[in-house]
Amino acid sequence: MEGKRLKSIFKVITVIVTMLLLIFIVYALKLGIFEDKNILVQYIQQLGIFAPIFFLFLQAIQVVFPVIPGGASCLAGVLAFGAVMGFIYNYIGLVIGSIISFILSRKYGIQLVKKIFKEETLNQYLSYIQTNKFDKIFFLGIFLPGFPDDLLCYIAGVSKMSLRKFIFIILLGKPFALLFYSFFIELF
């Protein structure tokens, strides 16, 4: 009985968050927030003390619903908060979003993943979960910048990888790619 109730609550929360996200995306598109990093930075900065909370939410959501390029939002975090705080906020938000993505794909399976990502990109990485290479590819994809880590988090959810191992890899690997974004951007 408790499991059914929990599923119902999860479904309601998912619908509410999805509706709020869609409203925000439409609003953000009208403002041009996703088209120009300067507009996004201005928008974040005008939120004052709520800016970090908004940014953490944005980073988590952009992993779960990959409509915003991850590099752009990382860049916005560094520009809005500086290299150190931008790194911290990026890290926390991306870790939360990665874990949510893993859990969603574990719960709803490959059908969910197929609805979110292009089939050709998905197939390229899905073949690895049948081999022992996926854990290594996943680690490298999280560790190095430029890989589709949002996709890899979802694929990890449908693989045999445990949640514990997933979190360990995310916690260990995410900082290196973010350090690249945070401090490389500060130099220019």
Q: What is the pLDDT of residues 107-158, one digit of tens each?
A: 988 888 888 888 888 888 888 887 778 888 899 989 887 788 899 999 999 9
SS percent in the chain: helix, strand, coil, step 5: 85, 0, 15
Query: Which pLDDT score, from 0 to 100, does residue 138 have?
Result: 92
- Using the predicted structure, report yes or no on whether residue 71 has a pLDDT greater than 80: no
CB 67: neighbour CB atoms within 10 A?
Answer: 13
- Find out whether 65 and 154 touch, Cβ atoms under 8 Å: no
- Using the predicted structure, report yes or no on whether residue 185 has a pLDDT greater than 80: no
Question: Nearest 5°: phi and psi at 109?
Answer: 80, -170
Q: Which one of 22-31, 83-92, 126-135 scores highest in mean pLDDT?
A: 83-92
Here the contacts of 81-87 (C-beta below 8 Å, separation 24 or greater) are 81/51, 81/52, 81/55, 82/186, 83/182, 83/183, 83/185, 83/186, 84/182, 85/52, 86/182, 87/175, 87/178, 87/179, 87/182, 87/183
Percent of the chain topping pLDDT 70:
80
Query: Which pLDDT score, from 0 to 100, does residue 112 have?
Result: 86
Alpha-carbon distance of 43 to 86, in angstroms, equals 15
Q: How confident is the model at residue 97 (pLDDT cuts 50, 70, 90)?
A: very high
**How many H helices and E strands in the chain?**
10, 0
Q: How confident is the model at residue 186 (pLDDT cuts 50, 70, 90)?
A: low
Rounded to an integer, the average pLDDT of 92-114 is 92
